[in-house]
Amino acid sequence: MRIGLIGFGEVGQIMGVGLRPQCTQMAAWDRMLPDVVASGAMRAAAQAAQIDLADGVEALCAASDLIVSAVTASSTLEVARAVSQSIQPGCWFLDLNSASPLTKQEAAQAVGRAGGRYVEAGVMTSVPPHGIAVPMLLGGPDAVQLAPILSGWGMRPEVASDRFGVASATKMCRSVMIKGLEALVIESFATARHYGVEDAMIATLQETFPGIDWTRQGEYFFSRVAQHGRRRAEEMREAARTVDEAGFEASLTSAIAQKHGWMAAQAVEGGFSKWGTGRGWQAYADRLLEQRDAREPRGTDQRG
Q: What integer pLDDT is reported at residue 276 of this predicted model?
A: 77
Give the length of the chain.
304
Segments making up each domain of the chain, as ranges: 2-164, 172-295
Q: Which CATH number fits domain 2-164: 1.10.10.10, 3.40.50.720, 2.30.29.30, 3.90.1150.10?
A: 3.40.50.720
Q: Which CATH superfamily is domain 172-295 in?
A: N-(1-d-carboxylethyl)-l-norvaline Dehydrogenase; domain 2 (1.10.1040.10)
Whether the CA torsion 240, 29, 122, 278 is positive or negative: it is negative
Q: What integer pLDDT is reported at residue 134 of this predicted model?
A: 97
Q: How far is CA 3 from CA 147, 200, 255, 291, in A?
A: 15, 52, 38, 44
Q: What integer pLDDT is reported at residue 296 of this predicted model?
A: 78
Give ∠ CA 88-93-95 in degrees, rounded to 5: 155
Quote the percentage of the chain above a pLDDT of 90: 93
Strand partners, 69: 6, 95
Asked if residue 280 lies in contact with residue 219, where contact means CB atoms within 8 angstroms, the answer is yes
CB-based contacts of 127, cutoff 8 Å, min separation 6: 10, 11, 14, 134
- Give the global pTM: 0.89
Rounded distance between C-alpha atoms, residue 39 and residue 127, angstroms: 22
- HEC string of 75-136? HHHHHHHHHHCCCCCCCEEEECCCCCHHHHHHHHHHHHHCCCEEEEEEECCCCCCCHHHCEE
Quote the percentage of the chain above a pLDDT of 70: 97
pLDDT in tens, 216-269: 999 999 999 999 999 999 999 999 999 999 999 999 999 999 999 999 999 999
List of the chain residues with pLDDT < 50: 304
pLDDT in tens, 20-55: 999 999 999 999 999 999 899 999 999 999 999 999
Q: What integer pLDDT is reported at residue 304 of this predicted model?
A: 47
User: How many of the other CB atoms lie within 10 Å of CB of 195?
Assistant: 12
